[in-house]
């Protein structure tokens, strides 16, 4: 079998393509290709017919279509801007809440209400007295 593929110059009659094989292949190609070519032609005919029918209608209704296009584009732009503003607003609110929590946590640690304050002893007494004098001064 390996000799059959390597020896191209000495082909015997069984390896040659017969006329009946060629005719069968051509008939098969026509049987498959003709319906495809017919469908392609029908598609081209339908597309060109629809273009010829719709061209005057597009010309007549172009002001309405143009106005509707501007309205739709304006609505899409408005919704886009509104959604971007919503995302920015949510981000700003979450940032403010996060900063407020951090400030409140730091204030609790300075005053001494936190179970694990950063400052102990004299530093905590100093800040307690400073907060008391500041609140009394106001």
For the chain, the structural domain boundaries read 1-60, 61-138
Check residue 134 and give its pLDDT. 64
- Identify the pLDDT of residue 35: 94
CB-CB contact of 117 with 109 (8 Å): yes
Which two tokens mark 55? Answer: 């061209």
Full DSSP string of 28-48 = HHHHHHHHHHHHHHHHHHHHH
Helix (H) or strand (E) holding 97: helix 62-111
If the chain, 138 residues long, is cut into consecutive pieces of 10 residues, what is the mean pLDDT of each piece?
54 72 91 94 95 89 89 96 96 91 76 55 64 62
Residue 4: the pLDDT is 54
- What is the model's pTM? 0.39
Q: Report pLDDT for 89.
A: 95
């Amino acid at each position: 079998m390996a000799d059959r593929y390597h020896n191209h110059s000495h082909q015997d009659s069984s390896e040659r393509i017969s006329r009946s094989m060629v005719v069968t292949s051509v008939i098969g190609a026509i049987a498959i290709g003709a319906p495809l070519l017919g469908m392609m032609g029908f598609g081209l005919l339908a597309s060109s017919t629809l273009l010829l029918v719709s061209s005057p209608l597009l010309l007549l209704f172009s002001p309405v279509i143009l106005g509707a296009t501007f309205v739709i584009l304006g609505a899409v732009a408005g919704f886009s801007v509104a959604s971007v503003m919503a995302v920015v607003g949510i981000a700003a609110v979450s940032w403010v809440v996060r900063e407020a929590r951090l400030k409140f946590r730091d204030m609790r640690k300075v005053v001494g209400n936190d179970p694990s304050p950063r400052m102990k002893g004299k530093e905590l007494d100093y800040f307690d007295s400073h907060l008391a004098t500041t609140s009394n001064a106001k």
